[in-house]
Amino acid sequence: MGWGNIIARRLKVFAIAIIIYVDYKAMQKRVQWANGSKKNTIWEKTHERNARRVLNLMIELEGLWVKLGQYLSTRADVLPEAYISELKLLQDSLPPRSLKEVRRTIERELGKSMKYLFSGFVNTPLATASIAQVHQATMLDGREVVVKVQHDGVKEIILEDLKNAKSIVDWIAWAEPQYDFNPMIDEWCKEAPKELDFNHEAENTRTVARNLSHSNSSDPNSVHVLIPEVIQQSTEKVLIMEYMDGIRLNDKDSLEAYGVDKQKLVEEITRAYGHQIYIDGFFNGDPHPGNFLVSKVPPHYPILLDFGLTKSISSSMKQALAKMFLSCAEGDHVALLAAFSQMGLILRVDMPQQALEIAKIFFRNSTPANEAAENIKTLQDQRERNMKALREKTKLNEKEAQRFNPIDAFPGDAIIFTRVLNLLRGLSSTLNVRIVYLEIMRPFAESALQGTMMLHGPATSSQWIYNSPVNSNVEARLRKLLLDIGTDKILGIQVCAYKDGKVIIDTAAGVLGKYDPRTVEPDSVFPVFSVTKGITAGLVHWLVDKGKLRFDETIANIWPNFGNNKKDSIQVNHVLNHTAGLQNAMGDVMKDDPLLMCDWEESLNRISKSTPDTEPGSLQFYHYLSFGWLCGGIIEHASGKKFQQVLEEAIIHPLNIEGEMYVGIPPGIESRLATLTVDMDDIEKVMQQRQNADMPSNLTRSELAQIVAGIPVIFNTLNVRRAIIPAANGHCSARALARYYAALAAAGQIPPPHSSYSKPPLGSHKHIPKPPSSAVPKKKKGTKSTTSDPKAKSKGYTLVSTHSNQHEHDDTDDAIQQKVTRIFENQKIHDAIMGMGDFSGLTYPDGKFGLGFRRYRNPDGKLTSFGHSGLGGSTGFCDVENNFSMAVTVNKMSLGGVTRSVIQMVCADLGIPLPDEFSSSGEKGPDMQLTLGPG
């Protein structure tokens, strides 16, 4: 291909591109002065005129431009009719190459004369495409075959066309930044040359055939398609395959005559692609109508052809694509953003609702060609809404917003994936059928994730437990227990424990969610429900310790609006002790409008207007939801700061647990979030539980079961996760929660730095992440060590040796003392928390709660421990006498049997008295009464 031809092709391409661009820009100005009917006429003529220009250029240049035209001709769902009718001509055979050229290529490639290869060869080609043409032939042994022969010189033409296409895309991105197709053309430049080597196509064909043949009729995800067999060794430019007599998809008369059900046909093709993408991770990237036939023999299975452009994706990308699909089906913003992060799609702006709407476009139902105009209008309307939201979010003016690209990085693997979805949609439009992709492809996406989780379950892989070093012999036995319990009861779990200021357990196991097979890691963040109350109560104690507040202070003194409706006598200690009489506050709101709890100011306003149901200080009833807003209002009014500012100042920063303890998550951590699900077997047990005497009177047993079953639906949504709900919306890792209770166990003394084994180091995440475009650092895994600490042997556990690094501390007592800081100055903080000694008069006699924490008795009846459990099984607590703290986080909500088994084993191993909350017969707190199973 000489320079003269290269320059000529380039000039033709750019000349037509500029003419079309100027034509459309001129029409945009012209239609402003036209009425409705005349506007339509102007646009129709403009489309027709430019469609003919495009068609003529593509026919003249052939090569890559024909393939582009074939792709565009299938997009009847989004392109004007003029383009579809013109470009459809490219689906038919192009002018054939000479028979002399074809025979010369075959003999050169196969090294034999035609007479030694075939007993018969049909001179007229079956089809001529942009890269090759296909002839029917008969082998010497009598087999009927097709011979695919590459055009001479097409490789050079294709490569040159890719350069021209890249230049045009660059120019469009400069002129109209919102239409930046660079990621798509970059991926095409990488993949398209592979089509020029038929050796690749032969191997791809064998692979896809092998993958799809593994499905069988008993498998619900089985598919029924035909794929021609590769007959003999291929070469770069010649491919011989089994001949299959079929009907072309554009031959509507034959489809009708043979009685082909076009709906079932396209559904089966779609199922085949669901299997290739989500099950195999290996799929044909070019499903245009010319690459399919239909068997003439009932039941008229589709015949899949041409596997030149075939994409292989990693297991991680396959999971991410499946998760993206299911997040669209479920409307789950968190899962969608996590999927984006996993696949490497980086957004420059945090707009989860708009991101979900755009993602759903890919999986929307296909529309027949006659609905194309309406579909285009719908998509345009949605685009305008999203642009308006973008302008509001970014504060950009209209011109700036038009030039702003919200995508910072788009993964190449996803380009071919989206192209396939668009081609499939175009295919169904061409055949005038409607396909519900979310129904057809869902089983395959679910199988992709669930199959991965089965592969990584405890029965088959030790990697079900995160590969971190074992801190102690107790932890080694705990991990064996988790493997024994298995995936029936555990989806994802973290367990962390401190003893005498040192980490003795830091284990993560399982997966992040039902549809998220990624392994739980130490820095994964779990929703912990009422565990949050123990964090919120700690902030109130911190303010009292700083002299900003008194336990016996009347709330109305610091929060004037609160003192109405018989609440003027309610004191801070009444709220902490669950005796404020507001146990039912917000209950009606939750029934009528659950999402109102996401509005912090309005929730505080509703709380301030509530009326007590019982005399303040007289009875102890669990304030299951109102507790958080009551404490939150107290915290903000007493401190003069926002709730989250106090949380960071009092707990997050001093304990160095940034990024792993939140009440209301910020944007940017979705990829580390665990997703809730429910153990449905245990839900039945909730119905059989006795009505609890201290539960809110407006909750019946059946209502409790409904609440438990519905909680994941509400608390997995992004707007709820981002809300400030200080009674129920904590998100934390077990290691952050255990460290918090380790400080409480030591009367406010901050423990030495967390174990250096734990990767990434605790505190290494920013509490408020960088913008979404920031790259997430790769996690490094530690190496296992078995050296023991002789000082710990007499204490009932054996620690492994400690590696020194910048996060590690000098293990001498003097060095530790020099570095110690405190979060509480009050040496009697334990008495204050548990409502003992000087603080006993502030609590309800023999109540389950001290001041904000559930207090636990040991088997001797002595109060030695405190903490707070959450609905579903997560918990955090500490034992003061034994300087021990422990946290368990789970994402499979259950009756708490897993949590109890874990705590019982660890306490027994260490010789620590088991708190009654976690015993088989001891008195349980309200949350554990809901979540703890029978003994």
Q: Give one DSSP letter per residue of 269-292, joined into a string.
A: HHHHHHIIIIIISEEES---GGGE
Q: Evaluate whether 607 touches 632 at the Cβ level (below 8 Å).
A: no
Angstrom distance (rounded) from CA 302 to CA 294: 5
Angstrom distance (rounded) from CA 804 to CA 794: 24
Phi-psi region of 304 (alpha: psi -120 to 50; beta: other; left: phi over 0): beta
Strands 892-893 and 677-678: parallel
Q: How many CB atoms lie within 10 A of CB 107?
A: 15
Angstrom distance (rounded) from CA 493 to CA 514: 13
Angstrom distance (rounded) from CA 859 to CA 879: 13
Dihedral angle of Cα 811, 813, 818, 824, to the nearest 10 degrees: 100
Encoded amino acid at 704, one letter:
L
Question: What are residue 919's phi and psi, to 5 degrees?
Answer: -85, 170
Query: Which tokens is 480 given?
Result: 């064996």
Encoded amino acid at 285, one letter:
G
Is residue 286 annotated as part of the catalytic site, yes or no?
A: yes
Among the listed residues 204, 218, 437, 456, the one whose alpha carbon sits nearest the alpha carbon of residue 319: 456
Q: Evaluate whether 884 touches 745 at the Cβ level (below 8 Å).
A: yes
Question: Which long-range CB contacts under 8 A does 206-209 form with residues at least 24 apart?
Answer: 206/230, 207/282, 207/310, 208/276, 208/280, 208/282, 208/283, 208/284, 208/304, 208/307, 208/310
Residue in 77, 280, 286, 332 annotated catalytic: 286
Q: How many CB atoms lie within 10 A of CB 143?
A: 14
Phi-psi region of 111 (alpha: psi -120 to 50; beta: other; left: phi over 0): left
Angstrom distance (rounded) from CA 698 to CA 710: 17
Q: Evaluate whether 409 touches 243 at the Cβ level (below 8 Å).
A: no
Query: Which tokens is 125 given?
Result: 């080609």
Phi-psi region of 550 (alpha: psi -120 to 50; beta: other; left: phi over 0): beta
Q: Evaluate whether 447 touches 281 at the Cβ level (below 8 Å).
A: no
| Location of structure tokens 């509530």 | 610
Residues acting as catalytic residues: 286
